[in-house]
Structure 1
Amino acid sequence: MAIQFELYKVPSPKDKEDKELYHARVVNFQHISTNQLAREIQMATSLTEGDVKAVLESLSHFMGSRLQEGERVHLEGIGYFQIKLNSKEPITSPKQKANQMKLKANVSFTADKKLKNSISIVKVARSKVKIHSLSHSETEIDRLLTNYFKHNQILTRRDLQQVCTFTQTTAIRHLKRLKEEKKLQNINTYHQPIYVPMPGYYGKPKQ
């Protein structure tokens, strides 16, 4: 199956009259969950679906513990995970103490050579759906999300982009609307939101 992509215009300063440039971006319409991967691994190995999910849960726990210690974690055939620090405010002196800084930790990932090689040869095709002109009514968005939550428990901004083929800006705008309409609830932090349906919406029973 070919990887579908669409072309997006590269933003340029308004005061410049450079030739228009475009970049290719993968258009992914399907979200693969842990449950789906666990079922596929079960079919290909002697492990049960429960075994796979238990291993993945433990892997996440112990990787998190190692990363908290500042260690770099290597999963052979997959890649390297490590903590990356970003400062929320400018650091004005090399002598500044840790308690005087506002640092945010993120996890960075570098793919292993084996993983890179596995995708070195891929088939690509222009998307038949023109992302730039695609729009959904609020009713259509509700229908797509109802179907999405049949197979998934949580929703992120990136998930909404994929489900509705939205740009990042459009997805953020609709997430704000859905929160205001009490259809979605953020169960995580403000900067890293994770959404779940409110009672009475997207298949979740009313209380």
Structure 2
Amino acid sequence: MSVKYKVLPRKNPQDLLAPEKFYAAAIADGETDLDKLAEQISYQCTVTESDCYAVLLSLERNIISELEQGRIVKLGRLGNFQIGVSSEGRDTAEEVTSGAITKTRILFRPGKRLRSLLNDLSFRKAS
């Protein structure tokens, strides 16, 4: 199994006059959606494709609901989801309000098996 990459030029944001350097960037080789995952899972167990799809949709809805309540969603060996924020710095703690928040994101921390996938990858340059 190998992941494709392409080479991209990038400027140094701290020195825009410096010459560009070239970096590898992973590129996707297709995509898989919930329909495809439900089909694949149904072939690996006795649950029907439509049942798998219903469970995956329910999982998505419940992850969203729990994140909206500020909870960490732990999915066992798969990993954890959590809300993260960035904010502007203020001189005192009292000055930090929700208005200082500049960016929100969903953090995913993969479990051990997903993390170990990164150790076993090989790469090939896209043509």
- Asked if Structure 1 and Structure 2 have the same fold, meaning a TM-score greater than 0.5 normalized by the shorter chain, the answer is yes
> In 2, distance between residues paired with 1:121 and 1:29?
18
Q: Per chain length, whose mean CA-contact separation is higher, i.e. which structure has more relative contact order (CA < 8 Å, sep 6+)?
A: 2
CA separation in 2, counterparts of 1:71 and 1:38?
Answer: 26
For residues 121-161 of structure 1, the C-alpha deviation after alignment (integer angstroms, 9 at most, x for no partner) is 12321101xxxxxxxxxxxxxxxxxxxxxxxxxxxxxxxxx
Shift of 1:41: 0.8
Partner of 1:25: 25
Residues 98 and 15 (structure 1), Cα distance of their counterparts in 2 relative to 1, 3 Å cut: closer
Amino acid in structure 1 at the alignment position of 2:111: D
Q: How far apart are residue 39 of structure 1 and its match? A: 0.7
Correspondence 1:121 to 2:123: no
**4+ long deviations beyond 4 Å:** none
- Output the aligned Cα RMSD: 2.2
Partner of 2:37: 37
Distance 1:86 1:117 in 2: 29
CA distance in structure 2 between the aligned counterparts of 1:16 and 1:117, rounded to whole angstroms = 37
TM-score (norm 2): 0.80
1:95 equivalent in alignment to 2:90: no
Aligned to 1:76: 76
- The amino acid of 1:120's aligned partner reads N
Length, aligned pairs only: 123
Instruction: Could you tell me which runs of 5 or more consecutive residues in structure 1 were left unpaired when the two chains were aligned.
Output: 129-207
The structural deviation recorded for 1:14 is: 3.3
Query: More deviation in 35-44 or 63-72?
Result: 63-72
CA positional deviation for 1:117 = 1.5
Deviations 1:167-207 (A, max 9, x none): xxxxxxxxxxxxxxxxxxxxxxxxxxxxxxxxxxxxxxxxx
Task: Give identity over the alignment, percent.
Answer: 23
